Every structure is written in C-alpha cells, then in structure tokens.
Amino acid sequence: MSASFTELGLSEHVLAALRDVGYESPSPIQEQAIPALLQGRDVIGQAQTGTGKTAAFGLPIMEYVDASEQSVQALVLTPTRELCIQVTQALRSYGSHSGVDVVAVFGGAPIRGQQAQLRAGGHVVVGTVGRVLDLISRHSLMLHDCRFVVLDEADEMLDLGFLEDVERILALTPSSRQTALFSATMPPPIRKLADRYMYDPEVIRVEAATLTIDTVAQFQVPVEARRKPEMLVEVLRAEAPEQAIVFVRTKVRCDQLFRTLRDRGMNVRALHGDMSQGSRDGVMLAFKAGRVPILIATDVAARGLDISTVTHVINYDVPTSPDTYVHRIGRTGRVGRSGRAITFVEDRQQRELEAIERHIGTEITTWEQGAIAPPTPVRERPRRHSKPRISRRDAEEPYAKLVVSGGSRAGLTVADIVGAVTSRAGLDGEAVRDVLVLDRFSFLSVPAADADRVIDRLDGGPIGDADASLGVARAPVR
C-alpha cells in the first residue's frame, strides 16, 4: 500500500480492503476529500464520474460505521438504479475487513426482499430516491441514527426532478449529521440545497481540463451525415477498442446504429431509456463483465456507468453542450489509465466543436487511420452466425425455473445472482429473468436449454458473499 493512503488517516482494516482491490495511491479528489470528511467537515465535491469519488466518500463511511450497532448509520442517495448497484458493490469491497453490511434499495426489484435485508441489519443504505422514500413511508427504513449522508451526482438528481424528494429525505435525518454532496456541475438549485442543508462545507473542485486532457487523447472525424455509419465501422475496426461507448443523441438513433453494427457482424449492444429495466440491467452487466466490447448509448441511459476497462468513447453525434462532452469522454481515461475520444463532426456542427475546444482549452486534432497501429479486428461474430441466440423474453422459448439456497438473510441481491449467472455460466444478462430474492431462498428463470449448465457452474459455489446450492424448482415453463 502506498504511504499516500496511509497518510490520509485511514485505519488498517480499510487499508487492507484497499490492498485487496489494488488501489495504490489516492486520486486528487480522494486526497482532498478524505481528510476533510474524517475531520467531520461537510464536503462539496465538484467532480465528474471516473475521478474516484465513490472511494472519496466510501472510505470515510467505513471509518464512521460501528458494525456492532444494528442501525442505519449512513445513507447514500443516487439518481439511478445502475449507479446504486455500482456504489453498493464498491462500498462492500471497502468494508470487507470491517464487517460493515451495505444494503442496496432501488425500484424495479421486489420491495419485500429489500425490507428483509433492512430487518436483518444494514449499517449503510445505498438507494435511489423514490425507493428510499417508499421504504421510509412503510417504516422499513429508519434514519434516526443516520449520521452520514451522501448525495451522489446531485446535478443528475436535479435533471431527473428528484430534488424536492431529496430535501424530504434530508429533513428526516438528524440535524447533527455530516453531509457530502458530489456533483459534476453546480447549478443554482444545487447551491441552494447545499446552503440549506450543509454546515460550512469545504468545497473541492477537480477541474475538467485536469480530468480529460492529460488522460484522454482527443480526435475529430469530419464526416458527411450519410457516411457516418460507414465511417463508424471503419473507426472501430481501425482502433480495435477493448471496450467502447458510442454516444448518440436519441433513442431512435441508438436502435438504428445498433442494428447497423449488428448486421455487420459486430458484438454490440444498445442502451437507452425506452428499454425495460431488466433489459438495461442485462446490458450493463454484460458490458461490465467484458463480454460486449461495443455499447451504443444515450446520455441519460449511460448515467452512472463507471467501468475502468472502457478504452474509447466515440461521439457519433456531437454533444449538445461542452459540459456533456466532458462528461462523455470522462467515461474513458480513468485515473491512472489512458483513453481515446473520437468525435464525428458534420460541416454544420463546426460552431459546436469550436465551443467544446474553447471549453477544454485545447484544439481537437483530426483523426487519421494511418497514424494508428496496424488494425486488429474488432471482436465480431462470424457473419453467418451474427444473430445471437434468443435471450429476450420470447414467448416461444422454454424457460426453467431454478431455486437458490440463499436469500436476503445471506446478503444475496438480484445483482449478485444475475452477475454470477452471466460471469460463470456465460449467459447474456437478458436471458436471466424473474429473479426473486426472498428471506432464505431465491428464484430465477433461465432458458431451459441452458439450465443444466447454469446448475453445473454455480451449484456449491459462491454467489455474492455466500456459498449456495442451485437446483430446478419445477419443470420448464413457457
């Protein structure tokens, strides 16, 4: 462990967890925020996703929580379900040596399972705003002992219309609490909320230029609108990204581009707001596990994506604002890594490009294929087999219902089960459906043709933090 983390004042059990996850030295926001939070200060952190802000507030939380007290001592509010799951996974790793129980609560999953987890313990709750309010109204979530509150990506909560509900939740927490607010931008409503609910906060800013210029090589591709799909294929094959996010402005464009690349034999998925939550979860898990190298996404759907293996961001459509550009390219070039950002620019978009260049303080050079190392093929499916096995909820595909000998009492979550099936049995996330986590047992459905393989790969092994057995609950159902 680098002396730098030790000098921040973290205890040995937290340092041991950091060694487990391979953290070597603190990022700028961690270096500034952790000491302030450990001193009991309220903190406003202005930083985009990918700067290490989850550890910036997560590590101090682990220092504050008393694992011997069975009450909710810290609350982290997130704007989206995806970010909620992601933050939960990170906090669980930070608390792995201290016995801290982290519970995720979010919409789109059975509320009874989350209520059971809260009854069983839960020192730290990570939740979406709506589900947290729902659980409070049902008297399942008590915040009278909550002494640490984090608002993560507050500007996105504002964009989604959650700020009034956030204030309702804050009003139910002790006035003596410590509060941390993290936001990529600081619009007036966020400043007003901070003035009302925070006490003499220390403001920490990590500037956009520091985040992007040093770690991300940026390029532009002048292109005619009609040639953009063809040029995208050319760029992807030349760059051969380990993982790439291709940003588009609209859901319709997202679906169109997905079909275009899929028909070219590329292993690609789409992510946008009109997809069901189950479909979005499946795509996120498959992309995070590295089984999908190319993701076509809208800005809203990609909120909360924090995946360190993303090597490329491609702006198929020029972002609507310079801030959006910075947020997008921040998905690559994570702390300690390099990345590449490539923006397609039509003639009519030159003024938008110039605004971006003024904002980031540098000129974006023109992409040239010849300047790149000899291309290797993007991971593709053979063209004759480019159509994947049906993994959607196709009424014609038989499914088998499986039972897991573990539930919320063992700490299992929906994300744990889907993640285990996708990573160890090789199924697409969308092929896993009807996941239900009960107190002592859990259920899921998988394609009947894959049931034996799922049982063989998972039975007797770990799911989440628990060892579990797996079996068929009943005969295949349609």
Q: Are residues 375 and 463 in the same domain?
A: no
- Among 126, 120, 116, smallest CA distance to 95 is for 126
Token readout for 355 is 């605004």
Neighbours of 475 (CB within 10 A): 9
Residue type, position 467, single letter: D
Does some domain include residue 392?
A: no
| Helices 81-94 and 12-21, axial angle in degrees (round to 10) | 120
Beta bridge partners, 205, equal 46
Q: What are phi and psi of 81, to 5 degrees?
A: -60, -40
Alpha carbons within 13 angstroms on the beta-carbon side of residue 11 total 13
- In a 10 Å sphere around its CB, with 0-12 CB exposed, 13-18 middle and 19+ buried, how is residue 372 labelled? middle
Query: Which CATH number belongs to the domain containing residue 254 in this structure?
Result: 3.40.50.300
pTM: 0.52
- What CATH number has the domain bearing residue 427? 3.30.70.330
β-sheet bridge partners, residue 293: none
Give CB contacts under 8 A, 24+ apart, made by 470-476. Answer: 470/402, 470/403, 470/404, 470/405, 471/402, 471/403, 472/400, 472/401, 472/402, 472/403, 473/401, 473/402, 473/403, 473/443, 474/401, 475/400, 476/398, 476/399, 476/400, 476/401, 476/448, 476/451
In a domain, 394, yes or no: no
Question: Checking DSSP bridges between strand 442-447 and strand 433-437, what pairing results, if any?
Answer: antiparallel
User: Which pLDDT score, from 0 to 100, does residue 29 have?
Assistant: 86
Please tell me whether residues 175 and 258 are part of one structural domain.
no
* Tokens 């089960």 -> residue: 417
CA–CA separation, 436 vs 454, rounded Å?
A: 17
Question: What is the DSSP-derived secondary structure letter of residue 427?
Answer: -
Q: Dihedrals φ, ψ of 76, to 5°?
A: -115, 120
329, part of any domain: yes
Does 214 map to a domain? yes
CA torsion through residues 319, 322, 325, 327, sign: negative
Residue 214 and residue 159 share a domain = no
**375 lies in the same domain as 413:** no
The reported pLDDT for the residue numbered 286 is 84
Q: Are 33 and 11 in contact (CB under 8 A)?
A: no
**Cα 264 from Cα 230, distance rounded (Å):** 10
Residues 214 and 191 in one domain: no
Which residue among 167, 191, 206 closes a domain? Answer: 206
The answer to whether position 391 is within a domain reads: no
Q: Tell me if 416 is assigned to some domain.
A: yes
Do 93 and 194 fall into the same domain? Answer: yes
462 has which bridge partners? 467
DSSP 136-168: HHTT----TT--EEEEESHHHHHHTT-HHHHHH
Beta bridge partners, 217, equal 340
Question: 443 and 345 share a domain?
Answer: no
The pLDDT averaged over each successive group of 10 residues in the chain (478 residues) is 72 88 78 93 82 88 91 94 86 90 90 92 93 94 94 87 92 94 88 93 72 72 91 90 90 89 88 79 82 86 67 88 77 71 90 83 82 38 34 58 82 80 74 78 85 83 77 55
Last residue of a domain, one of 155, 184, 206: 206
Is 393 domain-assigned?
no
Range of the domain at 198: 3-206
Dihedral (Cα; 80, 86, 88, 91), 10-degree rounding:
-130
Number of domains the chain is built from: 3
CA distance 10 to 30: 12
Tokens of 405: 């000998």
> Are residues 92 and 49 in contact, defined by beta-carbon separation less than 8 angstroms?
no
Q: In 161-269, where does DSSP find H-type helix?
A: 163-171, 188-197, 208-212, 228-239, 251-263
Task: List the structure tokens of 404.
Answer: 């897991």
In whole angstroms, give the CA distance from residue 406 to residue 471. Answer: 12
Q: Are residues 420 and 363 in the same domain?
A: no
Clarify whether residues 201 and 184 are in a common domain.
yes
Tokens encoding 3: 């002396």
Where does residue 448 fall: left (phi above 0), alpha (psi -120 to 50 degrees), or beta otherwise? alpha
Query: Residues 335, 462: one domain?
Result: no
**Domain stops at, among 181, 206, 231:** 206
Residues 273 and 237 in one domain: yes
Flag whether 45 is in a domain: yes
256 and 240 inside one domain: yes
